[in-house]
Amino acid sequence: MTEMTLSNLKPGNKAKVIQVTGKGSARRKLLDMGMVPGIEIQMIRTAPLGDPIEILIKGYNLSLRKSEAEHIMVQSTGV
């Protein structure tokens, strides 16, 4: 199992959130949306130009900018 940022995850892959980096309100926003360590997520798709990305978390679809996704460290758990 490899550690990477959420922005590097490929569509269809699942991962577990390891850490949310960043500072201030941007970090708080991610945590409030459920992006907490230990939660499992699945990459659904990326926009045609690669930004934003869509993930499945806690039963709902969430779209994030790649710049936001780069602050989320995940550990791949496979497909």
- Taking only the tens place, the pLDDT of each residue in 12-71 is 999 999 999 988 888 898 888 888 999 999 999 999 888 899 999 989 999 999 989 999
Q: How far apart are CA 17 and CA 35, in angstroms?
A: 7
Residue 51 pLDDT: 86
Q: Please give the residue that has the higher pLDDT: either 30 or 79.
A: 30
Residue 50 pLDDT: 81
Are 55 and 18 spatial neighbours (Cβ–Cβ below 8 Å)? no
Sign of the torsion angle spanned by Cα atoms 30, 59, 1, 36: positive
pTM of the model: 0.84
Q: Which CATH class is domain 3-78?
A: mainly beta
